[in-house]
Amino acid sequence: MDDLANEDKRNLSTLELIISEDSLDQAISVTLKRLAKEARVPGFRPGKVPAKLIEARLGRTKVRQETISEIVPDLVEEAIKKDELEVIASPEVEVVEGEESGPVKVKATVEVYPEVNIAGYEGLEVGITGIEPTEEEIQSRIDKLRATSGELVDQDRPIKKGDRVTVTIESREDPSDPQVMLEDYVLEVGAKELVEALDEVLLGASKGGEVTFLWKIRQDEEPKELVAKVGEVRELVLPETTDEWAQEASEFSTVAELKADIVEKLKELKLNYAKREFRAKSIMALSELMDVGPPRSLVELEVRNDIDNLLHRLEHSSMSFQQYLQLTGQSEETILANTFAECSIRVKGSMAIRALAAKLEVEVSDEELREEIKKSVEAENRGIIPNIDELWEKLDQEGSLKGLRSDMREVKALQWLLENIEVKDEQGNQVDKSVLIDDNENAGSPGSGEGE
């Protein structure tokens, strides 16, 4: 199954509307009154031009066509609401009959939210990174701290991993005129600071030598063969791990105290990462059950929003889009492709959670929704308690309550998913989900329905 729904498999619905001649005549009268107010005709004060004169000047057919173009969008919107269609793209509207006379027949084709099946959602399992720090991770943190007080010692031997090497990189496309691209740059071999290919060829080289490697400077360019001239080769000699060193390098008196602090901080970092990983993988596992791909129209809407946000951030940082491309070494096509892929995953996950909410028959009461709105507004207004009745009425008039209720249903569905999915670490051991689910995610559970 393709990740994206095919254009010829869009979930389309067709609406047919008839505008009677009487209704159209009334609308034409409104249009003529508006045009009369806007018109500037010699001999008449502004807003006092007779409607009949406007009709005579423009012609009945033109006024009729303008009226049709004005009233059709609202009529289509009313029909969509009446049929309770969930439209995900702008309607494609066609006036089939009646542009010049008689009743007007309108055909509107709308793309609606597809029905999504997620069979097998009750038996899902995901694997996540272990929460407990490993000895290698602890030692790596200690070694990084040791490196801050290490000593660089010149070496007259072949380069090995971890050495600090000074290189000057040249392009020799024209052997008679080599171009220096990077001069006297110090890198740690094996740390992949510039390009992995350079690290590989430096291993075993010596001071004063030269190595060649391929470097793809921009993603949309072909790799170029470059030359790295090797300068100084130095080894970072680390201090002994003693209590005296721990006192000099940290606020702790002993290595044991320092190690205990590192373990605690690593646990917190790994737990936070595991929470995000658990949430993302759970949604991904659910979305892989879907029998349809995300509609292109929804993905493209997300892409536009993401790109708009990127451009806004760049503008705020006083950076042009071209400067951003140069800084990141990406092409416009690469950014768009990556954004499209990310948005496809995001839309697919949202569709899966939405389908789960429907499958579980999740309900959100008015009381729950009012409380959630109240908490949200209080947070935004720094604790100021709003008049919830006035706010509720305003949101209801705007038609926003339906969307807020839908969002809350999906939150409850996600809670159910996290509470019911099986999770194991890299060794296949069962993981205690209680440490992975935050309090706000444990706060509620969906209403009764299939799957509970």
Same domain, 161 and 218: yes
Question: Please, are residues 27 and 71 in contact by the beta-carbon 8 Å criterion?
Answer: yes
Q: Which residue has the higher pLDDT, 398 or 288?
A: 288
Q: What is the pLDDT of residues 290-316, one digit of tens each?
A: 999 999 999 999 999 999 999 999 999
Q: List, as one string, the DSSP characters of 116-135.
A: ---TTGGG-EEE---SSPPH
Same domain, 284 and 417: yes
Question: How many Cα atoms occupy the beta-carbon half-sphere of 79 within 13 Å?
Answer: 20
**Is there a domain that residue 293 lies in?**
yes
Distances (CA, A) of 227 to 179, 240, 292, 425: 10, 38, 50, 44
Q: Which residue has the higher pLDDT, 126 or 451?
A: 126
- 104-111 β-sheet, strand order: 12-19, 104-111, 92-97
Residue type, 53: L
pLDDT of residue 220: 64
Picking from 69, 71, 88, 94, the residue whose alpha carbon sits closest to that of residue 15 is 94
**Is there a domain that residue 125 lies in?**
no
**Residue 244 CB neighbours (<10 A):** 11
Q: What is the pLDDT of residues 23-48, one digit of tens each?
A: 998 998 898 888 877 777 777 777 66
Alpha-carbon gap, residue 354 to 51, rounded angstroms: 52
Alpha-carbon gap, residue 172 to 228, rounded angstroms: 11
Domain that holds residue 409: 256-442
Same domain, 195 and 275: no
**Residue 235 CB neighbours (<10 A):** 17
Task: State the total domains in the chain.
Answer: 3
> Is the pTM value of this prediction over 0.85?
no
**Domain-terminating residue out of 237, 266, 291:** 237
Residue type, 18: I
158: left (phi over 0), alpha (psi -120 to 50) or beta: beta
Residue type, 81: K
**Is there a domain that residue 265 lies in?**
yes
Same domain, 339 and 213: no
pLDDT of residue 440: 54
Same domain, 397 and 335: yes
Report the pLDDT averaged over residues 59-72.
90
% of residues, the chain, pLDDT over 90: 62
Alpha-carbon gap, residue 181 to 176, rounded angstroms: 16
**Is there a domain that residue 143 lies in?**
no
Report the pLDDT averaged over residues 356-367.
95
Average pLDDT, rounded, for the chain: 88
Task: Residue 96: give its domain's CATH number.
Answer: 3.30.70.1050
